[in-house]
């Protein structure tokens, strides 16, 4: 089906806005995946705040021009599914990696983060990044560790004194 010029401009504008605010991008080849599976993928992507769009390569090249994802232009061959992480840099990678495990026909082409193009086999690098909540949890445990250690150390002093007094008492009772 032919797309009119105004529709093309709208698609390019929409993808450009999404790419401008995105933290990472993942490209995949969706050949052989049926509509029901893609619908399930879109639902999962929405739940994880991932922008998911099937875009013609020529339009995608225009849309990512002058963004940090301009580097993906060299891998735009064949049918392309674009996933952009909006809030969590690893969200798109996790969603597409999980989907690729379940569907043999689905193939991840490449990914981009921070203006660098990474190969598809490096998706684990991005997928294993902690979510925002996990990162906060890790940060809080690191910040809390010295305080906990100090509290244990301060609490240990009275415990040692109590054990020393008890030992002296036991020694005097045995001597008597």
What are 13-38's pLDDT values in tens digits?
888 888 888 888 888 888 888 888 88
Rounded CA separation 123/162 (Å): 56
Stated as kind and residue range, the H or E segment containing 24 is: strand 24-29
Structure-token pair, residue 170: 């036991």
CB 111 within 8 A of CB 24: yes
Write out the chain's pLDDT in tens, 176 residues: 677 888 888 888 888 888 888 888 888 888 888 888 888 888 988 888 888 888 888 888 888 888 888 888 888 888 888 888 888 888 888 888 888 888 888 888 888 887 788 787 777 777 777 777 777 888 888 888 888 887 787 777 777 778 888 888 888 888 87
Rounded CA separation 62/58 (Å): 7
Q: Compute φ and ψ for 136, nearest 5 degrees.
A: -65, -40
Three-state DSSP at 116 gives strand
**Domain ranges in the chain?**
5-129, 130-176
Q: Compute φ and ψ for 78, nearest 5 degrees.
A: 80, -175
Nearest to 6 by CA among 70, 52, 59: 59
Specify whether domain 5-129 bears CATH 3.80.30.20: no
What are 119-137's pLDDT values in tens digits?
877 777 777 777 777 778 8
What residues are paired with 113 via a beta bridge?
Answer: 24, 116
Structure-token pair, residue 146: 């010295």
């Amino acid at each position: 089906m032919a797309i009119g010029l105004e529709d093309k401009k709208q698609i390019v504008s929409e993808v450009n806005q999404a790419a401008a605010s995105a933290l990472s991008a993942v490209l995949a080849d969706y050949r052989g995946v049926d509509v029901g599976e893609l619908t399930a993928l879109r639902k999962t992507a929405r739940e994880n705040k991932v922008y998911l769009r099937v875009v013609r390569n020529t339009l995608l090249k225009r849309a990512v021009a002058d963004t940090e994802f301009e580097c993906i232009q060299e891998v735009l061959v064949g049918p392309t599914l674009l996933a952009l992480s909006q809030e969590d840099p690893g969200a798109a990678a996790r969603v597409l990696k999980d989907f690729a495990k379940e569907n043999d026909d689905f193939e991840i082409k490449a990914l981009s983060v921070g203006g660098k193009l990474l190969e598809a086999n490096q998706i684990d690098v991005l997928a294993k990044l902690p979510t925002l909540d996990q990162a906060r949890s890790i940060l809080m445990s690191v910040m809390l560790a010295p305080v906990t250690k100090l509290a244990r150390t301060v609490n240990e002093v009275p415990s040692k004194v109590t054990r020393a007094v008890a030992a002296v008492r036991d020694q005097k009772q045995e001597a008597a």
